[in-house]
Amino acid sequence: MKAGVKMLIDPLKIYSYKDYLLYDENERIEIIDGKIYNMSPAPSRIHQKIIMELSAEIRNYIKNNNGSCEVYPAPFDVILKNDDENITDSKNIVQPDISVICDKNKLTDSGCTGSPDMIVEVVSPYNPSNDFIKKLNLYDKYQVKEYWIVNPLKKNILVYKLEDSEHYGIPEIYTFNDKIKVGIYDNLEIDFNLLDL
């Protein structure tokens, strides 16, 4: 992204990754279905703590099991595109709070091109509909295997997993007192009670 370029958002325009690259690197945006969404102000302390703790749990599990997956916290660009689509034409560029990528061919210096295996979003009070509706539909469409929505205000977690239909089923619902099995792994459980949130 170019530093210092402040762009006005045209509500009628369909934006792509090509446009995204023109934005000021200090101006955090996402593009979903060609529409630009400004990221909310700096997240709360608990929001950041949840990201730190969950990232550490997953990373430690991977390291301790000599796994090949990698974990990236935001800001980290994920460019979601169709197989026949050129990357610059992608109309879906997001910065999930946590991305777990097991196919290293998807990793570039710019981020991840293609669907991560797992995404975690921590709900912000500024734009909850993004996580519960827009991103849920987006991650379902691009077949992210597992999607967690962590809500610090309600102290609950919704876990969506791709089913045989290749779409998300009804979410499993947990609280901050529960142990949650990470579906993309055989034996990783995260005990929210031990995360000291």
pLDDT digits (tens, 9 = 90+) for 90-130: 999 999 999 999 999 999 999 999 999 999 999 987 777 78
Are 184 and 102 a contacting pair, CB within 8 Å? yes
Count CB-CB contacts under 10 A for residue 197: 13
pLDDT in tens, 54-104: 999 999 999 999 999 999 999 999 999 988 899 999 999 999 999 999 999
Which amino acid would we find at residue 185?
Y
- What are the C-alpha distances in Å from 104 to residues 71, 164, 169, 172, 186? 11, 25, 27, 29, 20
- Residue 152 confidence (pLDDT) above 90: yes
Q: Residues 48, 107: contact at Cβ < 8 Å?
A: no
The predicted pLDDT at position 115 comes to: 97
Confidence tier at 2 by pLDDT (50, 70, 90): very low
Q: Which two structure tokens, joined as six digits, stand for 91?
A: 């109309």
Domains and their CATH numbers in the chain: 43-194 (3.90.1570.10)
Strands 118-122 and 146-151: parallel
